[in-house]
Structure 1
Amino acid sequence: MKIVQAIKKPNESFVVTDSKKLEEPLVLVFGNRYMLESEHIYDEVKQLFPNGHIVFGTTSGEIIDDNVLDGCVVLTAIEFEKSSILVKRNNVADFKNDDKKLGESLIAEFPKENLKHLFVISEGSTVNGSALIEGLENLKDATFGLSGGLCGDDDRFERTLASYNENPKEGEIIAIGFYGDTLEITSSNYGGWTTFGPERIITKSEGNVLYELDGKPALDLYKTYLGEKANELPKSALLYPLSVKVTEDAEPLVRTILNIDDKENTMTLAGDIPEGARVQLMMSSVDDIANGAFHAAELAMGGRIKSPELALLISCVGRKLVMDQRTEEEIEEVKSVIGDSTVISGFYSYGEMAPFSGQDSCKLHNQTMTLTLFSE
């Protein structure tokens, strides 16, 4: 595996960290939305890697090595020596907001034989991540790993962009399939948040739109808990996500509020919140989040045969808001576990995709650190 990285700062060209020549690399470009709105961004990357498979995604912060950047673009180009990749895309507008159907259509384009892993970069403004994952996993008689994340837009929640081999645009969902017997790919996630306050029952919801808790308007209740911070919604919601427990025995899922509708008195979350589920507010501290990142890395390393050569990190923008000037500590915790020789890239997101530890089925998470580790 050969890897080249580069950083682009505002009003500057890409600064490449390595002079290695790559033939047909996978080029992952994660960056600030304003930077990726440039009409020249695709051409800039293509000049560096004329035969590259170039995937873009907007962020709420860029990760390279153990650094967290803001307002920049980070690029990681990977050339696999014994393995192959296949990249496909769809747009939510072509499926009338039926995200499960979009996922089914996307996975149908991938040959099943020897598919080891699917890594997804999805638009993060409107997608129902739970439905998308359900569609992507609708491939019978196939076992493959699934991880990835929803693009971010800092804490603005205005619009997110992604693309494959073209300038970034709205509504795009990109899936990268990894093939090869020599590939070892593991993924994991962990949060570090704790619940507080009373447990409530979801009495009315539709998909990822929450209407009522205990028969009362959900948004009104939520604003009551937030107090003065309610004036800063939806940004302030990142500090107080919801713990959602679908059944008594199920692992609780963390759900971040992406949008609010004051007129309808509803909240739109990043994934499904079914009626009958129990929810509680959550909160966290800097130390809890850093410890959570350490634990996520331990889970990803568990049982690996080879040391990872590449780590793709997707962490939630809510964690970044809590960590503030200490954000890099969670990346440092990950690096302390996976080792100094592992190349690190990634971004802060509006949602993370990974299975729970010990489980095969992928879930949409919020407020977690998610790792996908590669070696061949």
Structure 2
Amino acid sequence: MKIQQAVKKENSLWEFVGSNEDLQNPLVLVFGNRFLLENENIYEEIRSIYPNGEIVFGSTSGEILGDSVMDNTLCLTAIEFQKSSFVVKKANIKTYNGNVELLGTELLKKLPEENLRHIFVVSEGSTINGSTLIMGLEKFLSKKVTISGGLCGDDSRFEKTIASYNNNPKEGEIIVIGLYGESLEVSCANYGGWTAFGPERIVTKSENNVLFELDEKPALDLYKQYLGDKVKDLPEAALLYPLSVKVKDQEETIVRTILNINEKENSMTLAGDIPEGSIVQLMMSTVDDIVEGAYTAAEYAMRDRKAKPELALLVSCVGRKLVMDQRSEEEVEEVIEVIGNQAKVSGFYSYGEMAPFAGQNKCRLHNQTMTLTLISE
């Protein structure tokens, strides 16, 4: 596996990190600030660097490259697979009239089945229900194939996210990257580091990823009581206090970030489903807890691996970044300490992370976690 990386700041040229030798038919991942990705020349600019590349764009709430966390940049990682291969497919939610599950199912059908080992997802993040997307992707998927990835971000603005494949980035795009090959080894893991507090409450009214009532009371009103003077900073303030969700008949607790609020309906829109009958609690964290969570995620991802990872794709939550502020790089440094310096590290801060729980194959949508996808040939 040959990997090139580069970073570009606003009004600057691309700065390559390490080698910039010619690559044959590389997968090119470009994660970056939404405003920089809206440049009408961005696709042609990357195409001029990699004429034979398959180029995937995704907007972020912060970029990860090596051991650095950056803002307002474009970060590029180009990968030439030598023993394995990849296939990229895309779809737009508008084409499916908002039917996210059908979109996921149809996207999966576009990926050849033979030797498919893993699917990495770069998805629209501001309007899509990530849980339903996963449901569609897994509907007819072999249990041997794993899924990971993330929902694109837009810093803490929550205005819109953009993504694309071999085109200028736009709204509503979902891209899947199928990885193929018998020698390919992919391992995934996630972990948070958040602690639940306050009373447990029952979800008494919800619809997919929209929460209306807790304990038969308006959910938004209850939530505001806890925020106090931070109410004026909603929805951004909600990233500091996500919800712990215990779903009936499921052992693992999931975390849900609040993406938006509706004052008129007194409701909150979350990044993924929140079924009626679930038990929820508020959560909070410290920088040290988040950093320790990243270390744990890396340990889970490295468990039982046969080969050292050559590429590490990190997707972490924008809420973690807001808590850590200037110390965001510490969680990336903890990951590198565990996985080793031989792996090239790329990734982004997101509105939702996709990965199985450790030791499982079924993908879940997470919030407020550090998610790793470790790849080697």
1:19 deviates by 2.2
Matched residue, 1:219: 220
Task: Read off the aligned partner of 1:357 and give its amino acid letter.
Answer: A
Identity score, percent: 65
Partner of 2:106: 105
Which segment drifts farther, 68-77 or 107-116?
A: 107-116
Counterpart AA for 1:80: F
1:15 corresponding residue in structure 2: 15
Paired residue for 1:154?
Answer: 155
Letter in 1 for 2:14: F
CA distance in 2, matches of 1:97, 1:299: 35
Displacement of 1:249 in angstroms is 4.9
The runs of 4+ residues in structure 1 deviating greater than 6 Å are none
Asked if the contact 2:6–2:76 (Cα under 8 Å) also holds between the matched residues in 1, the reply is yes
Instruction: Confirm or deny: 8 A CA contact 1:106 1:175 kept in the other structure.
Output: yes
Matches of 1:81 and 1:361, distance apart in 2 = 28
Partner residue in 1 for 2:351: 350
Q: 1:60-75 maps to which residues of 2 (within 5 A)?
A: 60-75=61-76
Give distance in 2, aligned partners of 1:192 and 1:251.
Answer: 14
Describe the shift of the 1:249–1:104 C-alpha distance in structure 2 as closer, same or farther (beyond 3 A). closer
What CA distance in whole angstroms lies between the structure 1 residues aligned with 2:189 and 2:266? Answer: 35
Residues 112 and 266 from structure 1, CA distance in 2 versus in 1: closer, same or farther, beyond 3 angstroms?
Answer: same
In the alignment, structure 2 segments of 5+ residues that lack a partner are: none
What's the counterpart of residue 371 of structure 1?
372
Aligned ranges for residues 1-376 of structure 1 at < 5 Å? 1-17=1-17, 18-141=19-142, 143-247=144-248, 249-376=250-377
Contact 2:355–2:363 (CA under 8 A) maintained in structure 1 = yes
CA deviation map 1:35-55 (0-9, x unaligned)? 000001111111110010000
Contact 1:112/1:142 (<8 A) preserved: no
Partner Cα distance (1:69, 1:44) in 2: 21
Distance 1:53 1:140, change over 3 A: closer
- Partner-residue secondary structure (3-state), 1:108: helix
- Separation in 1 of the partners of 2:281 and 2:141? 35
TM-score (norm 1): 0.99
Q: Equivalents in 1 of 2:177, 2:141: separation in Å? A: 19
CA contact (8 A) 1:83 1:179 kept: yes
Query: Matches of 2:46 and 2:112 in 1, distance apart?
Result: 28
C-alpha distance in 2 between matches for 1:374 and 1:117 = 10
CA contact (8 A) 2:204 2:215 kept: yes
SS in 1 for 2:341: coil
Deviations 1:264-299 (A, max 9, x none): 111000000000000000000000000000000000
Distance 2:250 2:45 in 1: 50
CA separation in 2, counterparts of 1:333 and 1:372? 15
Looking at structure 2, the residues matched to 232 and 192 of structure 1 have their Cα atoms a distance apart, in angstroms, of 24
Amino acid at match of 1:102: L
1-structure distance, mates of 2:259, 2:151: 11
CA contact (8 A) 2:143 2:361 kept: no
Which amino acid is 2:342 matched to? S
User: What is the CA–CA distance in structure 2 between the aligned matches of 1:111 and 1:315, rounded to whole Å?
Assistant: 29
Cα distance in structure 1, aligned partners of 2:232 and 2:359: 40
Give the TM-score normalised by the residue count of structure 2: 0.99
- How far apart are 1:248 and its partner, in Å? 5.9
SS state at 1:60 partner: coil
Give the number of equivalent residue pairs.
376
Task: Give unmatched runs, 5+ long, in structure 1.
Answer: none
Deviations 1:224-251 (A, max 9, x none): 1101111101000000000010026521
Q: Measure, in 1, the Cα distance between the counterparts of 2:317 and 2:224.
A: 22
Shift, 1:143, TM fit: 2.2
Equivalent residues of 1:353, 1:364 under 8 A apart: yes
For each residue in 1:32-86, what CA deviation from the matched residue of structure 2 results, as whole angstroms up to 9, or x when unmatched? 0010000011111111100100000000000000000000000000000011100
